[in-house]
Copies of this chain bind each other. A is one copy, B any other.
Amino acid sequence: MATRSTIYAVARRSGVSTATVSRVMSDGTGFSTETRDRVLAAATDLGWVPSNSARGLATQRSGIVGLLFPDLGHSGEAEKESPLYVDEVIRGAERAATAAGDAVLIAATHSSSGRDLAFSIASKVDGLVVLARSLSAADLSSISRSIPIVVLANASARRGFDFVGADSRGGARAVTAHLIAEHGYRDLAFMSGPARSPDSIERFAGFCEALAAADLPVPDAPDADGSFTEAGGERAMRALLALRHRPPRAVVVGNDEMTLGALATLRAARMRVPADVALTGFDDIAAARHVRPALTTVRQPMRELGERSVETLLQRIREPRTPRRSLLLETDVVIRRSCGCRRRPAHADRGAA
């Protein structure tokens, strides 16, 4: 507790200069084994933990990267639901950073505080991974004047930055195509998440592409939308049913949580899934395997998104003037029962990259 000891104390105790201590600590060269042992012993005795502030000031590197993400469901109703996605990304980021000897700082932009928070974080890190819409374009470019930034999963903001994302559109196209080709459904609807969310937009686009490819009529907008939550899915499905005289044969839903909600609404309306209405989700959250019917869904490599974005960032920090990188990871269609399939086929389709 109490007083952190300094490199000077260690140097004095082991009878060498601070330069030598520093070299020993950084695995450098230019010292004998005995000296090394003496230094290490002194460091241990004193319980010395070098100050990263001092080191960072001297080296111009803090050894920390930041991850900024939007705070979904802040203290609200559905707050237990949304995390999954972000959490996996965080895990991936942590892993990649640790593997490279760096550490990762995380911060959720609770909408209000966005700007200040971002600058406060920016001052503490060597670079920033910004997930989805957690920061305005203006702040993004302002911060990028002092540290490198990689944009994660928000294709609309990628211009001018390194970018890492998943092929949401390809995934949506692939499930939709499955519904059409394997099951012969022709009356399909799309139920979107928040209208402005880049994910919503991409997924709807993929849905439309598949319809177009099958010469089916292409809608202008999603048939219903809501928040990316269970409650949002329930409401959206109610709206959808109210709107139509006859329910669609199949509904491609923006994410799994909404699908869970949609399922509840359909059950309440005494409709069978998939016999009356088939359903597909997005994300492959744990619950997707456990509901009945188990959800056919599109899996994103969430952890890998986190890993790759941090790797990209570290690479950029190392070599600031390399051409921009853009990385689009593949998504997988996971076939279960909610689409109407009876048994899992040998292997799933892949969203094109």
Partner of A104, one of B106, B142, B145: B106
Number of interface residues of A (CB under 8 A): 62
Does the CB pair B108–A105 fall under 8 Å? no
Q: Is the interface of A mostly helix, strand, loop or mixed?
A: mixed
The A59-108 residues at the B interface (CB cut-off 8 A) are 62-64, 66, 80-81, 83, 87-88, 90-91, 94-95, 98, 101, 103-108
A57 and B51 form a contact (CB under 8 A)? yes
Copies of this chain in the oligomer: 2
Kindly state whether residue A123 has any CB partner on chain B within 8 Å.
yes
Give the residue of B48, B62, B90, B106 whose beta carbon is less than 8 angstroms from that of A146: B48
A170: CB under 8 A from chain B?
A: no
Contact partners of A62 in chain B: CB under 8 A: 52-53, 124
Tell yes or no: A267 within 8 A of B by CB.
no
Q: Give chain B nearest CB distance to A103 CB in angstroms.
A: 5
A81 to chain B, nearest CB (A): 7
Beyond A1-B145, A83-B87, 13 additional contacts (C-beta under 8 Å) are: A1-B144, A47-B142, A50-B123, A52-B56, A53-B53, A53-B57, A57-B57, A63-B124, A83-B91, A91-B108, A104-B105, A290-B291, A291-B291
A-B contact pairs, 23 of them (CB 8 A): A1-B320, A4-B146, A47-B142, A47-B145, A49-B146, A53-B57, A55-B123, A56-B56, A57-B57, A62-B124, A63-B124, A80-B286, A83-B87, A83-B88, A91-B108, A98-B117, A101-B120, A103-B105, A103-B120, A103-B121, A105-B105, A287-B290, A290-B290
